[in-house]
Amino acid sequence: MSNIEPDKLTPQGDFIIVEKIDYNEEQTTEAGIIFKQSQVLDSTYATAKILSMGRGLPLMNGEIPPVDYKEGSVIFYDVRGRQGVTPEFDLIRREHVVAVVEE
């Protein structure tokens, strides 16, 4: 299943396809310290870019509640609820989005 390209998937309901940030890429601080994001992050949460999202689940009255993010937004999400699609992409539910990262 790792050969699936996310642009070939259309999320349904409240599912969102996100592109993971490369946490193993080395970064260097202004002071010259080299580190990887994976060394400093809490493994419970991650940052990702929304590639596509379903329209959402309707409430009892039939309305779909609005959200403060859209395709292309960078979000902070709870990784414990993710469904791994590929090493680069995850499938999550709207309820796992914790915050929107302002650019």
- From first to last of the 103 residues of the chain, give the pLDDT tens digit: 456 777 778 899 999 999 987 666 666 767 877 766 655 555 688 889 999 999 999 999 999 999 999 999 999 898 888 887 777 888 999 999 999 988 7
Q: Where in 56-96 does DSSP place strands (E)?
A: 74-78, 83-84, 89-93
Cβ neighbours of residue 27 closer than 8 Å, sequence gap 6 or more: 34, 35, 36, 37
* pLDDT at res. 102: 85
Domains and CATH numbers, the chain: 6-101 (2.30.33.40)
Cβ neighbours of residue 64 closer than 8 Å, sequence gap 6 or more: 55, 56, 57, 58
* pLDDT at res. 60: 95
For residues 6 and 89, is the Cβ–Cβ distance under 8 A? yes
CA-closest candidate to residue 77, choices 55, 100, 56: 100
